[in-house]
Amino acid sequence: MHAHLDHDQCIETVVLKGPVKRVREFAEEVIAERGVRHGSLNLVVVALGPAHTHGGASHSHRHLIPRN
């Protein structure tokens, strides 16, 4: 997501899913970019829920469940 804070500043938000190592590497690269004033990485640990289908769907899927 990209939003302008004023004429000179903006905020970027990226939501990623994948291996923690790759997500950390991506965050470190973005934070190291010239012009980036502040940066942080927020991780949400998830568990893989049980497989299920919805109303006659031909495929099953799983949801990610946030963990404490």
Give pLDDT tens digits for 1-49: 999 999 999 999 999 999 999 999 999 999 999 999 999 999 998 999 9
Range of the domain at 35: 2-66
* Tokens representing residue 63 in the block: 């949801």
Counted domains in the chain: 1
Q: By the 8 A CB rule, do 47 and 64 touch? A: yes
35: alpha, beta or left? (left if phi > 0; alpha if psi -120 to 50): left
CA angle centred on 14, ends 2 and 19, rounded to 5°: 170
The predicted-structure confidence for 41-60, as pLDDT tens digits, reads as follows 999 989 999 999 988 878 89
